Amino acid sequence: MREDYALRYLSRLVKWNESKLSAEVGWLRRISAYKFDSYQDFVAGERFISALIRWLGQFKEEDRDFAYKLLREHITFLSAAEIQHLVRRTVPAHFRPLWVQRVAQELKIAPYEVWATKTSVAAYERLVRRSLFVGLSDGARMDTFRRANVGVVSNEQVTVNYEIPSTKLNALLGELREHTKVTDAQFEMVFLMDDFLGSGTTLCRQDKEGRWKGKIDQFGEAIKSVCKLCFSDNFEIIIHYYIATQSGLTRARAKLAEYAAVTTNEHLAKRNFKLTADLVLDDAARFAKGTNPALDKFLVDYYDPEIMTKSLWKGGCQVQNGFADGGLTIVLEHNTPNNSLATLWAESTRPTTHHQMRPLFRRRQRHE
């Protein structure tokens, strides 16, 4: 669809006069070119303006301006360049201070003294090589992480899957021992990495029967058979997210502490998990239910309860306001978190007696 024609058609949809159209065209063109057009789940040849027209067309005429203002005033879109920047910051801003702190504690020196002697520098370099970096999803961008840290992190320290086969761990351990020339070398720090933490339930939760579920438990099960061989007795687990909500961090830290206190996995029991994040979204940026009655009504009116899947029900409720009532309006260039308002990402996949939902930023579901 030609952009000029599309913008004219959009103005008729939302009932803009000429002055309003002129005021909005500049913003739409800039934001589309700089951010929105780069969304990876637009179908081939599609651009943001055509997706916006399709999205607005599902609403009643009197509600289209409300929907547009929701987009205009509240959407936070993180582009590929912005996420790449967060990936590149990970080692210098978050991991390096942890390495320095651990070396300083082991040598009983001040952190700034780590760089003062060859002995402490060698201890630091040894710890860096004995670190393992694990992706918790494809959003962890482990390929970008490797390239950003050439000369600091080797390919033999990085794995893209947290359910690591024992053969893969043994191979990584073999590379570590060959590189260090130490026959009994082991990994001392494990960094689990991902792009986004919303509610924290994917990382660590209990089901209705009280069984522990989530990625941290799956990681623990994966390393169980080779843990004593591959990891030192006091190995640390650091879980790092490029982006996280403040409430998600609080909940996840509490759940991790609870999990460590009761888990039957001896390798994770009593362990002090460290949970870090770079870009932390303040809870003031989310729409909690009841805080905006007009939005609550809009989300209910234009919602199809038949979009629910087994995975979405893990949040404990329908997702008008996002998974686990996340209330977010965040969009990542490669996918939209399900913690964001469903009207932004959800799509009715079959005929329904409810509202036939059309997404603005179609979400790629990772789980059914």
Domain boundary among 283, 312, 340: 283
Closest Cα partner for 363 from 309, 324, 317?
309
In a domain, 341, yes or no: no
Say what the pLDDT of residue 273 is.
Answer: 94
Q: Do 158 and 12 share a structural domain? A: no
Q: Do 100 and 52 share a structural domain? A: no
Domain count, the chain: 2
Residues in the chain where the model's pLDDT stays below 70: 1, 45, 366-368
Q: Do 134 and 27 share a structural domain? A: no
Say what the pLDDT of residue 147 is.
Answer: 95
Q: Tokens 């990584």 map to which residue? A: 172
Q: Do 250 and 172 share a structural domain? A: yes
Q: Tokens 């689990």 map to which residue? A: 192
Q: Do 138 and 234 share a structural domain? A: yes
Say what the pLDDT of residue 367 is.
Answer: 54
Closest Cα partner for 295 from 341, 363, 346, 347?
341
Say what the pLDDT of residue 1 is.
Answer: 53
Both tokens assigned to 177: 């021992």
Say what the pLDDT of residue 71 is.
Answer: 95
Q: Do 248 and 120 share a structural domain? A: yes
Say what the pLDDT of residue 103 is.
Answer: 98
Segments forming the whole domain that contains residue 18: 1-60
How many CB atoms are located within 10 Å of the residue 75 CB? Answer: 18
Asked if 42 and 87 touch (Cβ cutoff 8 Å), the reply is no
Q: Do 95 and 225 share a structural domain? A: yes
- Spatial neighbors of 136 by CB under 8 A, at least 6 apart, are 162, 192, 193, 194, 203, 215, 239
Would the pTM of this model clear 0.75, i.e. be above it? yes
**How does strand 187-197 pair with strand 131-135?**
parallel
Q: Do 92 and 56 share a structural domain? A: no
Q: Do 186 and 234 share a structural domain? A: yes
